[in-house]
Chains A and B, each alone.
Chain A
Amino acid sequence: DVKVTQSSRYLVKRTGEKVFLECVQDMDHENMFWYRQDPGLGLRLIYFSYDVKMKEKGDIPEGYSVSREKKERFSLILESASTNQTSMYLCASSSGHSSGANVLTFGAGSRLTVL
């Protein structure tokens, strides 16, 4: 069964802490994405990557950074967490060029609370 695994389902952090969210996929997908999901809003893209060591900003990259050192792993980093980053974070992966019908496979999500 293909999988996208997010390391932490629930995290509670304090304002100013550095936060790492890890995502691993076992499908040899080229493309990986980080979204945040908030009530009443559509998924918002934070960062994405089409290849190892490559990253592109999404719609809301401010306050976040990413790392993709290996094809299967895509990490989201909050350098200094703030309360407005309290959210559900979803990692996803897909294969193929973005022009195709490349279906996203999502992880179960990481719910982050920043106090």
Chain B
Amino acid sequence: GQNIDQPTEMTATEGAIVQINCTYQTSGFNGLFWYQQHAGEAPTFLSYNVLDGLEEKGRFSSFLSRSKGYSYLLLKELQMKDSASYLCAVKDSNYQLIWGAGTKLIIKP
């Protein structure tokens, strides 16, 4: 079966750095997405990786290793507004998105 694993919850301190991991086992791979979802709101797109390596976008970076079936989202200089759930999704060989259950990130002052 197809599976996306992420930690259920993480806690970090304002101003610090946090890394949210995502491991996947899917039938084929056609890209990996990260979305952010604040409580009660719509998920919004953060990043897309299809090749190995690091993609940097301001305070957020996303890394992909296709051989290891692994990605992480790195958030730097954490702010209180970064408290949200972070959803990892992989596009499989049929170009369908398989979603992880999401990681709830709690930022403490």
Contacts and interface: CB of A to CB of B under 8 A. Distances in A.
Contacts of A46: none
A45 B42 CA distance: 16
Given A40-B101, A41-B101, A43-B99, A107 B42 contact: yes
Nearest to A103: B45
A21 interface: no
A104 interface: yes
Interface in A85-115: 90, 98-99, 101, 103-109
Contacts of A43: 87, 89, 97, 99
A98 B102 contact: no
B4 interface: yes
A108 B41 contact: yes
Interface string B49-76: 0100000000000000000000000000
A105 B44 CA distance: 7
A98 B35 CA distance: 18
B48 A106 contact: no
A38 to B, nearest CB: 9
A29 to B, nearest CB: 14
A106 B43 contact: yes
Interface in B1-39: 4, 8, 30-31, 33, 35
B45 A104 contact: yes
A101 B97 CA distance: 11
Most buried by A among B43, B91, B101: B43
B98 interface: yes
Nearest to B96: A45
Contacts of B102: 42
In the A-B complex, the 7 residue pairs with the closest CB atoms = A42-B99, A98-B95, A106-B42, A43-B99, A103-B45, A101-B48, A108-B42
Interface of A: 4, 40-45, 90, 98-99, 101, 103-109
